[in-house]
Amino acid sequence: QISYLAGLSLRGAWRGQIEAVRVAADRRGERLGQLLLEWAIGECRKRGCRVVQLTTNKSRADAHRFYERLGFKASHIGYKLEL
C-alpha cells in the first residue's frame, strides 16, 4: 500500500509512505519484494515525492537488512497507540 503525504519538512515536499509489505514465506528469494518496492518507489517518483518512508517491526532483522539493501536507512523511532 502506498499513501502520498504532503509534508512540512523538506520545504513542503511530498513523501510516499509504504505500508504492509508482505511476501509469502514460500515465495521469498524470488525477488518479489524487491520488485514490489522498486515499483512503489517508481510510483512515488512519478508523483514528485522527494522522500519514501516505511515502517517495519523492530524485531524483523531480516526485513531491516532487505530494506537497507534497497537503500533505505533507519532514521526514526516510531510509536503506536492502539485504541
Please check the confidence at residue 52 and state whether its pLDDT lies above 90.
yes
Residue 75 lies in a domain: no
Residue 65 lies in a domain: yes
Residue 54 lies in a domain: yes
Residue 83 lies in a domain: no
Distance CA 79, CA 83 (A): 13
User: Could you give the number of structural domains in the chain?
Assistant: 1
Residue 77 lies in a domain: no
Cβ atoms within 10 Å, residue 48? 10
Chain mean pLDDT for the chain: 91
Q: Which residues pair with 14 in a beta bridge?
A: 6
Residue 36 lies in a domain: yes
**pLDDT level of residue 82 (50, 70, 90 thresholds):** very high
pTM of the model: 0.83
**pLDDT level of residue 6 (50, 70, 90 thresholds):** confident
- Expressed as residue numbers, the domain containing 18 is 2-69
CATH of residue 31 = 3.40.630.30
Please check the confidence at residue 8 and state whether its pLDDT lies above 80.
no
